[in-house]
Structure 1
């Protein structure tokens, strides 16, 4: 016993020295060191404790990602670790009154050899509120410009509604759901899947990545019709006759006088003008110009539409009407011929009593002034002569025959003019 207790101070000092030596040797061979990992994701556990109450939660400020985690452990352990070995969790069971959840960090190996963890942040911040849902009509738009000579026709989506669910404040802020398709340079129809974007009342696109919002569909099929275009003139059909003593001048002003139409290539190739008939183009009994507005859309053929989205389809039209004037011309009977022939008979204009006939013409002054007497010619038709004189077959004699005149456009005969026609049997 004396031997055991003898020199106890020396023995204690030896023990302490041995421990120190062991510690030094251990740390020299496998010293404690640290490693720092960044952007470590945090797994939320037991989230159903919130959702089962008809509530939803969203992560605030990206707090479900730890910016930096430092691990202290022997070098041999540190050298064998990687970010995938870091396990970070936040259990909703530990939700505080401030809606924060403590983050627990461990590793999936060498747990007993880790001496310490140092986190840049140690809580996940949550926003917890009631869950809400709403359905929104789905609209579609286009961006960019199709190729020259083409326009966008109908734009449709294969589904017309989207349902969203999530935090009440976020859901209530959504007023519009829409998709957009870039049509730059296209010359044919487009069918594509497009992402649905949610918008607030000010037209701002909302970021749903961290909003906690779910949607029954995230994308939708969009079909866009691309139509060929061309410009065609507008031609108006005028109804009725102006008042006595007045006539159409033939001039019609239209704004626009041509329109851009759109359609499939086969439909576009078959239209060269837009022919417009409308009740508003009735000049019956008028003594002055007709000014009116005409809806051109009713004149569009099937499969054709207007190619300018800014054009409302209405044209301003002026139909010009002018007073009729008269002028009398003395026409030599030499300028009157016989139209037709009958075997066995000679038929000719009889000028034995007069060599001229008086012809009164009517028309707009500009048209009448353009008439040259030397250019006026007439003819008597044998067929009309027989009809007017109740003849079933031609007989010799002298008859009164009405003259048909060859006149410029816009010039009319005031009253019928006749000439004597002699019929003789050939010898």
Structure 2
């Protein structure tokens, strides 16, 4: 027995120190773990965070469009949320981690649609709560309208010197556009723009149309749809040629009136076309300016393209000609003729010549501006003395009409021929 007791004493004496005060040591570990948990919970406590401008995706839009209605978002196309969760979970979250949807089939009678926001990750969704700041998307509803509008080609820049652009062709030249009635009703036309700067050859290209009002204002609306997304455009480019303009009138002015002058600007135009077509065109003739029954000047602006053959165009600078036809009243004036106004040609040296005018005036009729400038010298009256016989010679001088007057009557002259020896 003694030996066993001694052995047990030896065992206790040889026990490692790690096992000494084991209870206290275990208690220290537990307390340390609890402190660590406490610190961890304090550092990773529950917090809130606001995330702004999450884009709202629309779903079930056919619930509205299938009834021939369109909608415009007036508010709520983005949404803000307040999220709550552990700091370690929400600290790095942003708008891209969330999805916001508005179900258009749930639209209310006030045109409000509820917005739902969810986290993209299911694991994150379980660890946070989401509160939508303003969970309503508001829209305006409007009837859909469809119209066909013409396509207009707009050119920018200038073709190369010595060339001109012809009439542009768009295919198709009509397109159908659909959209909200208030927007579509304001559309006057579709426009496509082509740059023709320094061009010497025909231009063929495809263009995307834009829509404008009658005042030229651009109509921009994402809800607009149209049947032709690309318009084929051809702009012909021609070599030019400069030709003079000739203008004539038709009809007669009122009695007692006449055309005194025709003036027009420009006096030449630049035409363009196929070389084989324009090579024989030497001038542009305009002969339909009507002065029938007129007592006053006639002024008009003419579209030059109306007088050109098919396949020939005119430059923008020469597209119109301004014409003025001066109309004047006709007047009659008597012109006195003296013997000094008559020239005697081919006189013989051995004869003496004496002129006596029996009718010493003639009447002329014409426009006042022209008649007022006429004198007897203007008639250039002359008698050939070599054809006169000895004695008295009675001669009637026919006075020709002038370009701006007519002569009424004649001048009768007696020429007495005697010898110088008498």
Scaled by the length of structure 1, what TM-score is found?
0.54
Question: Out of 314, 331, 336, which is 2:345 matched to?
Answer: 336
Distance change >3 Å, CA 336–CA 275, structure 1 → 2: farther
- Deviation string 1:230-282 (CA, Å, 9 cap, x unpaired) is 9x999666877998xx896x844x7xx54458964669xx9999865645268
Superposition RMSD on alpha carbons, in Å?
Answer: 6.3
User: Is the 1:335–1:377 contact (alpha carbons within 8 Å) kept by the matching residues of 2?
Assistant: yes
Aligned residue in 2 for 1:8? none
Which blocks of at least 5 consecutive residues in structure 1 are unaligned?
A: 1-15, 283-288, 338-347, 383-399, 421-427
Aligned residue in 2 for 1:11? none
Distance change >3 Å, CA 277–CA 91, structure 1 → 2: closer
Distance change >3 Å, CA 127–CA 153, structure 1 → 2: same
CA displacement at 1:154 relative to structure 2: 6.7
Aligned residue in 2 for 1:327? 336
User: Is the 1:290–1:321 contact (alpha carbons within 8 Å) kept by the matching residues of 2?
Assistant: no
Aligned residue in 2 for 1:369? 375
> Are 1:69 and 2:81 counterparts?
yes
Distance change >3 Å, CA 238–CA 207, structure 1 → 2: closer
Pairing of 1:23-422 with structure 2 (within 5 A): 24-51=38-65, 53-66=66-79, 68-92=80-104, 94-96=106-108, 98=110, 99-108=112-121, 110-112=123-125, 114-127=127-140, 132-138=144-150, 140=152, 158-166=171-179, 170-171=180-181, 174-177=184-187, 178-179=189-190, 193=207, 195-197=209-211, 208-209=221-222, 212-217=223-228, 251-252=260-261, 257-259=263-265, 264=270, 278=289, 280=291, 290-291=295-296, 293=298, 297=302, 301-302=307-308, 303=313, 315=324, 317-330=326-339, 335-337=344-346, 354=353, 356=355, 362-363=363-364, 366-369=372-375, 371=377, 376-377=381-382, 414-415=409-410
Distance change >3 Å, CA 57–CA 262, structure 1 → 2: farther
Distance 1:95 1:332 in 2: 107
- Deviation string 1:196-250 (CA, Å, 9 cap, x unpaired) is 33659x99876523xx44333467678899999x9x999666877998xx896x8
- Deviation string 1:120-178 (CA, Å, 9 cap, x unpaired) is 2223334556x6342232365989999xxxx9997875444333334xxx326632423
User: Is the 1:195–1:220 contact (alpha carbons within 8 Å) kept by the matching residues of 2?
Assistant: yes
CA displacement at 1:306 relative to structure 2: 9.2
Distance 1:380 1:19 in 2: 155
Distance 2:296 2:378 in 1: 33
Distance 2:268 2:207 in 1: 26
Distance change >3 Å, CA 305–CA 33, structure 1 → 2: same
Distance 1:85 1:273 in 2: 75
CA displacement at 1:363 relative to structure 2: 3.1
Distance 2:341 2:88 in 1: 131
Distance 2:289 2:332 in 1: 24
User: Is the 1:138–1:160 contact (alpha carbons within 8 Å) kept by the matching residues of 2?
Assistant: yes
Distance change >3 Å, CA 296–CA 319, structure 1 → 2: farther
Per the alignment, in what secondary structure is the counterpart of residue 81 of structure 1?
Answer: coil
Distance 1:94 1:139 in 2: 40
Scaled by the length of structure 2, what TM-score is found?
0.55
Which blocks of at least 5 consecutive residues in structure 2 are unaligned?
A: 1-29, 159-163, 274-280, 366-370, 388-393, 416-422
Distance 1:247 1:216 in 2: 61
Distance change >3 Å, CA 89–CA 237, structure 1 → 2: closer
Distance change >3 Å, CA 307–CA 161, structure 1 → 2: same
Distance change >3 Å, CA 133–CA 298, structure 1 → 2: closer
Distance 1:102 1:55 in 2: 24
User: Is the 1:135–1:164 contact (alpha carbons within 8 Å) kept by the matching residues of 2?
Assistant: yes
Distance change >3 Å, CA 109–CA 214, structure 1 → 2: same
Distance 2:401 2:348 in 1: 20
The alignment covers a number of residue pairs equal to: 355
Distance change >3 Å, CA 333–CA 219, structure 1 → 2: closer
User: Is the 2:151–2:190 contact (alpha carbons within 8 Å) kept by the matching residues of 1?
Assistant: yes
